[in-house]
Amino acid sequence: MALTNTSAINATMRAVVWQGDAYNVAVVDLPRPTIINQTDVIVRMSRAAICGSDLHIYRGTTEGMPAPFGLGHEGFGYVSDVGSGVGSLRVGDPVIVPFTVDEGHLHTELTTGLYGAFGNGGDLGGTQAEYLRVPFGDNGLIPVPTLNYTDPSTNDSVSLLNDYVMLSDIFGTGWASLDYAGFEAGDTVAVFGAGPVGLMAAYSAILRGASTVYSVDYIPERLQLAESIGAIPINFRDADPVEQILALEPNGVTRSIDAVGYEQVNRNLTVQSDVIIRNMLAVTSTGGGLGTVGVYTHESNNTSTAPRASTVNTHVDFSLARFFYGEFTWGAGPSKPIDLAPELLHLVTSGKARPGFIVSDVINIEDAPEAYARFERHNTTKVIISFD
């Protein structure tokens, strides 16, 4: 029998929802989730983030489940309710919600959307809501040390909560990009994209002992933030980024990272899905490694779930000869936040890593539609929705 909070039955909550039309999100009342299976955990969200991959949904370019559905897959909160089969968590425990949905010991597929993640539709909601149901809670959440701050509004406590949110997805994704590329301490690294994931990749490279990190983008504020953590900014609108990097690294860099994905743009700011892989192949030294963590979408003609799917080129062309004779290795994919949690959580709790430096705005949930619009216009870097 679940330890059910009877006051939650028939209760509602505020949630950010994609309406099914491009550039259309709203904050609405939804039923508050309750325990369905004995392994479920209900989390009262304290903080959630808007991710760059949420923008793909917002723009209507990525295939997903039929709308409307709740958005968000990054967050931190407190256990509000547990099923009778949950053994490691108690009501009140602070937890990070990883973007991946655990499938239990049998590894059966949940109908949770395109990638088995929160915020993609299907049976589960998104983290940009006051409450969230997490299946297989024992394995699907990241417990964190009990917060000892007497005043949760202090700068230190707010900063730590923001750090925790980054462990849901983008800190681990930036970290994993280096693993995919075969990174070793002392390597030189070029990170294409200085959005949230790209900044986390550059930050991770610096934490892990890269000798030099280049951050490639065109948005001045993001390049300034990259420079503030020790990366060398490369503005690709000023000149060819490959030429800029090779002028400083004549033999090329040892690792290159794609932290943008399928909506990348060229120097004219026109979407060109092959520009980054071509730049990576051109700027990476012989025997070097490439890592891709920017999201790529499936080919889709389903305008009911991706109204602007026709604007996306899902096929990327590049020189296989260059790849072959360059003796490159290439790793790609999403990160695994649960697997990375012990190492990254230790870095945060020990004070060695503060990934929350990337947060530019903390907002109320009612301001989420405007925050999405500002994020789309590149007027903000990383938005946190606070429920406290």
Q: Give residue limits of the domains in the chain.
A: 6-167+336-386, 170-332
Question: Is 81:90 a contact under the CB 8 Å cutoff?
Answer: no
Structural tokens at position 340: 């990375």
Nearest CA among 228, 241, 237, 238 for reference residue 191: 241
* pLDDT attached to residue 67: 77
- Interval 255-301: pLDDT, tens: 999 999 888 989 999 988 899 999 999 999 999 999 999 988 766 55
- Interval 115-148: pLDDT, tens: 356 766 667 889 999 999 999 999 999 999 876 6
Q: What is the pTM of this model?
A: 0.90
Question: What distances in angstroms separate CA 181 from CA 205, 284, 329, one per listed residue?
Answer: 11, 11, 7
Query: CA-CA distance, 276 to 265, in Å (whole number)?
Result: 9
Question: Is 216:194 a contact under the CB 8 Å cutoff?
Answer: yes
Question: Is 365:355 a contact under the CB 8 Å cutoff?
Answer: no
Query: CA-CA distance, 387 to 44, in Å (whole number)?
Result: 9
* pLDDT attached to residue 368: 97
**H or E segment and range at residue 96:** strand 94-97
Question: What distances in angstroms separate CA 155 from CA 65, 152, 162, 207, 380, one per listed residue?
Answer: 39, 8, 11, 23, 20
Q: Class of 6-167+336-386 per CATH?
A: alpha beta
* pLDDT attached to residue 45: 97
* pLDDT attached to residue 111: 42
* pLDDT attached to residue 53: 87
Tokens 């930050």: give the residue: 203
Nearest CA among 70, 76, 97 for reference residue 16: 70
- φ and ψ at residue 44, rounded to 5 degrees: -85, 115
Query: CA-CA distance, 51 to 196, in Å (whole number)?
Result: 8
Question: Is 293:197 a contact under the CB 8 Å cutoff?
Answer: yes
Task: State the amino acid at position 38 in one-letter form.
Answer: Q
Residues in the chain: 388
Q: What CATH architecture applies to the domain 170-332? A: 3-Layer(aba) Sandwich (3.40)
Residues (pLDDT < 50) of the chain are: 1-6, 106-115
* pLDDT attached to residue 4: 43
Nearest CA among 291, 89, 318, 94 for reference residue 200: 291
